[in-house]
Amino acid sequence: MKAIILAAGIGKRLQKVSGGLPKSMIEIGGKSIIHRQLESCLEVGINDFVFVLGFKKEILQNHILELVKPENCTFVYNPIFDKTNTLYSLWLARKYFDDDFIYFNADVVFKSELLAKISGKSKYSQLLLETKHCGEEEVKMIIDKENRILEIGKKLEIEKCAGEFIGVGKFNLDVLPDFAHFLQVGIDNGQENNYFEY
């Protein structure tokens, strides 16, 4: 299975902690966030990676290539990473929407057990949700009694939301033509500086 990993952002709020490096290179317990993510992927059999890079791309690419075999990596460059967001980065990676894939943001810390749960053969695409009370800033989700996603975005009524989308999910092949079209509509409507969940 493939993972598409969005790692283009600057991480302005974390620059003091990151020392000016990409936020995915912040170390937790002696390992960078992206190191931990890639270990989790390899543990559950995900070994084909598409990275969308932007901020300090050479430094991050070199770090990644210390962790994963080059033949297992594809690098896509977002040249306007400082003016765009996840919608544009995913749109740049759309030519790799050729099979089921795991998606995650390169600054999210998670356990391999979460990937194991969603990387199996489910007929449904899935987005991981942290059940909690959300504020205005979080990307929120409204779900039904069967845990189907009804709405996702930042501008939802907080009282109706089950929690926050944590930036990790799985997209099955059958939804990818519609998802690629959705991203294209966003680009056509000037939403490249928005999250794909807008």
DSSP of 58-109: HHHHHHHHTTS-GGGEEEEE-TTTTT--HHHHHHHTGGG-SS-EEEEETT--
Q: How do residues 147-191 score in pLDDT, each as one tens digit? A: 999 999 999 999 999 999 999 999 999 999 999 999 999 999 999
pLDDT at 11: 75
The CATH class of the 2-121+170-188 domain is alpha beta
- Measured CA to CA, the distance from residue 176 to residue 26 in angstroms comes to 32
Positions of E strands within the chain: 2-7, 27-28, 31-32, 48-53, 73-77, 101-105, 126-131, 140-143, 149-153, 163-171
Written as six digits, the tokens of 180 are 């690629």
pLDDT at 6: 98
pLDDT at 118: 92
**Average pLDDT of adjacent 10-residue blocks, the chain of 198 residues:** 96 72 94 98 97 98 98 98 97 98 96 91 90 93 96 94 96 97 96 88
- The whole model's pTM is what? 0.93
Distance of CA 117 to the CA centre of its chain: 17
135 SS3 class:
coil
Give the list of residues 6+ apart from residue 80 with CB closer than 8 angstroms, or none.
88, 192
pLDDT at 153: 93
